[in-house]
Amino acid sequence: MSRLRIFQEDEPDAPRLTTDDAALIAKELGAKGVRFERWQGADVQPGDSPETVLAAYRHDIDKLMAEGGYQAVDVISLAPTHPDKDMLRQKFLNEHTHAEDEVRFFVAGQGLFTLHLGDEVYEVLCQKNDLISVPAGTRHWFDMGPAPSFVAIRIFTNPAGWVANFTGTDIAQRFPRLAG
């Protein structure tokens, strides 16, 4: 189940809010300019080809791409047996920003987006059917867990895809990780 926890940046062990109510998650994140919504699931499974996954969600993808001026879309799929899973996890665990929105739709599995907004930290556990759009310039990090298992649609403005600008801070090490 999707979850939002909000912390003061100096209190990583004491969330001031914890909720799994999707409407409240969308409201809290929306107030900070972050899009969160639940899409209807389609009949796709982990292991389906990227073309099958994209075809299943084509209507929603096209609508979102037109709204946001996005130019590229792909599918990322990671399994616990992936030989580079530890290296890939490390790549995303430090606080960074992007020059464009980071848009993800979880077709299957889960991932933990943590957003550093002002003096607060918003931890968003995204599950199957969750869409999150983190605005350009937002400090954040992502944890796929020690045994990653997810399929996600990624939508980009820049056809080159994911480009990170790391902040150099250690804040991400002070907050909870995705356990499994």
Domain residue ranges in the chain: 3-161
| pLDDT of amino acid 157 | 87
Residue 24 backbone dihedrals phi, psi, to 5 degrees:
-70, -40
| pLDDT of amino acid 18 | 98
The answer to whether 4 and 122 are in contact (CB under 8 A) is: yes
**CA–centroid distance for 21 within its chain:** 17
Distances from the Cα of 105 to the Cα of 56, 167, 173, angstroms: 12, 25, 25
The answer to whether 43 and 126 are in contact (CB under 8 A) is: no
| pLDDT of amino acid 8 | 98
Q: Which residues of the chain have pLDDT under 50?
A: none
Q: The domain 3-161: what is its CATH number?
A: 2.60.120.10
